[in-house]
Chains A and B, each alone.
Chain A
C-alpha cells in the first residue's frame, strides 16, 4: 500500500468513524479480554474496543440492528450495546452463565441458553422480563429460532440432544438425540431441515423437519462427516454453522483443525476446506453475502473468506480468545 492510498484509507476510515452509515460494522466478542472489538467492515480497522462484563461469548444483533446483545457467562448477565453510540446502555438479567442466544424476527423475544442451569430463558427484550423458562438437557448452548418464529431449537452439549421448544406454548415439544457435544443448530429457511453440529462426534446431523406441525416426528436422516488428509480425525470438530445468503452453501468452522468446511446444501457433500487461523468456532456472513468472517480463538484474529472464490483473503487482529461475530450493515 503506498502512502497516498494509505492516506485515503485513513481519511476514509476517519470519515466513516464520524458517520458509520455506509460500511458494515463487525463486532467480535473476546472471551478472555472481556471486550467487544468493533471493526469497520470496509477498512477492517478497529473503530472501538468496548469493555463488557466477564467472559463474553455469544453476540447477536436485534433485527433492526439498533442493539447488540452480549452473553457474559461469568458475569451472569447480558450486556446490551447501543450500536450507534457503541456503549453498553443496559443489562438484561439473563440468568446464570448465559452462552448463546437467538432473537425472534420481531425483535421482541430473546431465547438464552443458561449453560450452568440447564435452562432456556425466554425474555421480553424491551422490558427485560423473564417470560418463560424451559428446562432442557445438561449444558445447553446452541440456540436458533425458525424463520416463522414458531420453534426454537436448543442443543445441550452434555446430553447430546437438540431440544425443540414451541415458542407459543413455551413447552418442550421434541428431543432429538445427535452425536456427542452438539454446539449449534440452524433451521433452513424453507423449514424442511434442521442442521445440528456435533463437536466431539465430528458430524453434522440433518434432521428432516418437513412434517413441520409435528416435531415429535422429526428424525435425523443424514450425517455429514469431515475428512482432511494429514489431519487427525478427532481434530475435525464442527462448531458454528452459517448458511450462505442464497442458502446453497453452509460454512462450518472446524475448531482445532484450523479450517472452515464448506458444504453444498443440496448434495450434502463437503465442497471445500479453507485454512484459516487457529481454532475457529463461530463466524458470520457479511450483509451482502459476499464475505464470510470467522473468529480464530487461538490466533486472536478473524479471517475473511470470499464466498465466491472460497479463498481466505485476509486476517485481522482482534482481542484475546475471539469467540463470536455479529455484523451490522
Chain B
C-alpha cells in the first residue's frame, strides 16, 4: 500500500509544476476578483422595498447606524427563536466597559449588516424517534456570531447586524433575495439548495454581493457552476470523500463496497468516492443501489426485519475492507452498522462521517462552540450551525482586521493571503482562489463518543498546503469565474 502511494508521487510532481504555473496566475485572478466587484451599493441609500416583495410589511430596511444591541430583532424571524434566547442573541457584551466607551464614542461605529437567507426546506426525519427533528440548523450559529462579533467589534469600533430572511417551505426565496438586495444588502449567508443558490447568485443586483454557501455540498457549485460572487464555507462531497478515502487508505482498507440511494446528492458523492479511490489508491469493488422503501421507522418489529434484510443485501458484494453508505436522506444508512454480511466498518453519510463539525469534537478550543450553541439553541451544535457561524465570522473578521465594511473591500481581504481564519481546527483557514472553497481540516467522527481522526492524513503530500489534498486542487478545477 505504502509503496503504491509513493509510486504515485511522480504524478504529483506534475501537479507541482502545474501548481507553480498556476501560482503565477493567482495575482491575476485576484485582480479579476477585485475588478468585477464595482462600486458597492451604498447601504445608506436603500431603495424602497421592491414592489414585487410578497410580504411588504417584512421589509428589512434598517437605519444607518443603530446601536449594536439593536441587532437581534432587525429582521422578521419566521422561525421565532425561543423566547429566552432572543434577548441574549444580539446583546452586546454584558456591560460595555466604562473606559472603552469613550473610545467607541470618538467615531461612529463601522456598521455592517449580514442577511441570513434561507428557506424551510423539508428536512429528513431522523431515523430514530429518540432524536428530535431540528428546525433551526444554521441560524443559531449565525446568532451566536452576531453576539460574538459585536462583543469583539465593540472594542475596536465595529458593529454587526443580522437580518433573518427565512421564507417558509412554499415561499419564494428568490423574491426574498431581490427584496433584500434592493434594500442595499450585500452580505448574504445562504442556507439554500443548489438551484436556489444559483438563482440568487445570478440576480443582477447580486453581482457585487458576497454570498456564503453554508448548506450545499454539491461539487458542481465549486466546479462548472461556480460563481465569482459565491464562497463556500461548507465542505463539498469531494473534500468529504477525500478525507475518508485518505483515512481508509492509511488504514490499509482500500477495497470499498458502495451502497447508496439514487438521489442527486448520493450520485454526486459516489462520483467523488470513485475519484478519491483513483487519487489515493483505493478501489470501489462493488456498487449497489438500495431501493427498498424507507419503512421500519414505525414498526415494532422493524429491527427484526432489518436484521434479516441487511445481510441479504450486502451478501452479494465482492470481498471488501469497508462499506461506504451514501444516503443523504438518512433513511437506511444507520441500519448497516453491525448488520452487514461481512463484519466491516461503515463510512460515508452514516457511520464514520467526514464533517466540519461533530458533537464529539473537543480539540483546539472547540469546547467553546460546543458549550455556546446549547446556551442559545437548547440543543447541541450541528454542522450547519458551525458553517453559518464560520461564514459570519469570515465577514466579521475581515471587516475588523481590514477596517473596511464595503463588500468589495471585505471580499478582497477575504481572498487575500492575510485572511487567516481561526475556527477551532488548530490551523488557519482560508478560501481557495480557484473555486472559493474554504480550505479546512475535516473531522472524521459521528456516532462515536470521541472523534476517530482528522484529515488530511499523515503521508499525503502537497507542494504548498497539505489541506489542499482534500477536494479539487488548482490543476483539477473546472471552475472558470466569469
- Decide if B99 touches A171 in the complex (CB within 8 Å): yes
- Decide if A201 touches B428 in the complex (CB within 8 Å): yes
Taken together as a complex, chains A and B put the C-alpha atoms of A137 and B149 apart, in Å, by 9
Q: Out of B98, B151, B155, B426, which one reaches A256, CB within 8 Å?
A: B426
- Chain B interface size, as a band, is 20 to 34
Taken together as a complex, chains A and B put the C-alpha atoms of A179 and B96 apart, in Å, by 24
**What residue of chain B has the Cβ atom nearest to residue A234's Cβ?**
B427
Q: Out of B94, B100, B422, B466, which one reaches A171, CB within 8 Å?
A: B100
- Decide if A179 touches B420 in the complex (CB within 8 Å): yes
In the assembled complex, the CB of A297 is this many whole angstroms from the nearest CB of chain B, namely: 11
- Decide if A200 touches B103 in the complex (CB within 8 Å): no
Q: Out of A158, A177, A200, which one reaches B420, CB within 8 Å?
A: A200
- Decide if B99 touches A200 in the complex (CB within 8 Å): no
In the assembled complex, the CB of A95 is this many whole angstroms from the nearest CB of chain B, namely: 12
In the assembled complex, the CB of A294 is this many whole angstroms from the nearest CB of chain B, namely: 19
- Decide if A177 touches B103 in the complex (CB within 8 Å): no
- Decide if B99 touches A169 in the complex (CB within 8 Å): yes
Given contacts A118-B151, A159-B148, A177-B156, A135 and B97 within 8 Å (CB-CB): yes
- Decide if A134 touches B97 in the complex (CB within 8 Å): yes
A256 / chain B contacts, CB cutoff of 8 Å? 426
Q: Out of B103, B152, B156, B427, which one reaches A138, CB within 8 Å?
A: B152
**Interface: B368 (CB within 8 A):** yes
**What residue of chain A has the Cβ atom nearest to residue B157's Cβ?**
A175
Taken together as a complex, chains A and B put the C-alpha atoms of A216 and B104 apart, in Å, by 12
**Interface: A105 (CB within 8 A):** no
Q: Which label, helix, strand, loop or mixed, suits the secondary structure of the A interface?
A: loop
Taken together as a complex, chains A and B put the C-alpha atoms of A136 and B100 apart, in Å, by 10
In the assembled complex, the CB of B365 is this many whole angstroms from the nearest CB of chain A, namely: 6
- Decide if B100 touches A177 in the complex (CB within 8 Å): no
B400 / chain A contacts, CB cutoff of 8 Å? 177
In the assembled complex, the CB of B36 is this many whole angstroms from the nearest CB of chain A, namely: 28
In the assembled complex, the CB of B60 is this many whole angstroms from the nearest CB of chain A, namely: 27
**What residue of chain B has the Cβ atom nearest to residue A135's Cβ?**
B93
Q: Which of B174-197 contact A (CB under 8 A)?
A: none
**What residue of chain B has the Cβ atom nearest to residue A116's Cβ?**
B371
- Decide if B371 touches A234 in the complex (CB within 8 Å): no
Taken together as a complex, chains A and B put the C-alpha atoms of A139 and B370 apart, in Å, by 13
**Interface: A173 (CB within 8 A):** yes
Segment from A22-30, A160-168, A283-291, A312-320 that makes contact with B: A160-168
Q: Which of A168-186 contact B (CB under 8 A)?
A: 169, 171-173, 175, 177, 179-181
Instruction: Give me 5 other A-B pairs in contact (C-beta within 8 A), A135-B95, A159-B151, A256-B426 excluded.
Output: A137-B155, A172-B100, A180-B420, A200-B427, A234-B427
> What are the nearest 8 A-B pairs in CB distance?
A171-B99, A180-B422, A172-B97, A159-B152, A175-B155, A234-B427, A135-B93, A200-B422
Q: Which residues of A contact B (CB under 8 A)?
A: 115-116, 118-119, 134-139, 156-161, 163, 166, 169, 171-173, 175, 177, 179-181, 200-202, 216, 232, 234, 237, 256
